[in-house]
Amino acid sequence: MNGINGGNMPAAMVGLPTPAGHQAELNYIYGMVEELSRQLAQNQRALEDVVVGVGRVRGRARAQSLGNEELINASADEIKSQEPNLDLLVSALTEALEKVRFSRDANAALLSQYATVVSTMLKQFHDYKARYVADVAAWHRSYRAQLAEARAENSRLREQIWEMQAHAGAANETVRCFRAKYDEDVSRWERRVDARAARQELRFWKRMAMPHLPGDDPYWSDDDDLIDPAEKVRLEDIKRTMAEQQLAAAAA
Q: What is the pLDDT of residues 8-45, one digit of tens each?
A: 444 444 445 555 456 666 777 777 778 777 877 877 77
**For residues 5 and 71, which has the higher predicted lDDT (pLDDT)?**
71
Reply yes or no on whether the pLDDT at 180 is more than 70.
Answer: yes
For 51-84, write each residue's pLDDT tens digit: 777 777 777 667 766 666 666 666 665 666 655 6
3-class DSSP string for the chain:
CCCCCHHHHHHHCCCCCCCCCCHHHHHHHHHHHHHHHHHHHHHHHHHHHHHHHHHHHHHHHHHHCCCHHHHHHHCHHHHHHCHHHHHHHHHHHHHHHHHHHHHHHHHHHHHHHHHHHHHHHHHHHHHHHHHHHHHHHHHHHHHHHHHHHHHHHHHHHHHHHHHHHHHHHHHHHHHHHHHHHHHCCHHHHHHHHHHHHHHHHHHHHHHHHCCCCCCCCHHHCCCCCCCCHHHHHHHHHHHHHHHHHHHHHHHC
Q: What is the pLDDT of residue 78?
A: 62
More confident residue, 127 or 50: 127
Is the pLDDT confidence value at 178 over 80?
yes
Question: Which tens digit of pLDDT belongs to each residue from 86-98?
Answer: 667 677 777 777 7
Q: Where are the domains of the chain?
A: 6-141, 185-251
Q: Residue range 114-128: average pLDDT?
A: 88
| pLDDT at 84 (0 to 100) | 61
User: CB 241: neighbour CB atoms within 10 A?
Assistant: 10
What is the value of pTM for the model shown? 0.32
